Amino acid sequence: MPPKRSRRARKLECLLKYFSKTRYAQQDSERAIARMLDSKKVLLKIT
């Protein structure tokens, strides 16, 4: 795995924890993060 994943992984974990605690559904949070990163592979690797 490339070292670039570490920074994105930490940010994604924080975002996922934040969205999970908020009203937003998992689908909405995943779509929002997917738009930010423009990559579905990163989400699949973390989840």
> What is the reported pTM?
0.32
In this predicted model, which residue has the larger pLDDT, 27 or 3?
A: 27
Domain regions of the chain by residue span: 4-46
Higher-confidence position of 7 and 2: 7
Q: Report pLDDT digits (tens) over 4-30.
A: 667 777 887 877 777 666 655 556 667
Instruction: Output the CA torsion sign for 41, 25, 36, 16.
Output: negative
Q: Where are the alpha helices (DSSP H) in 3-39?
A: 4-21, 26-37
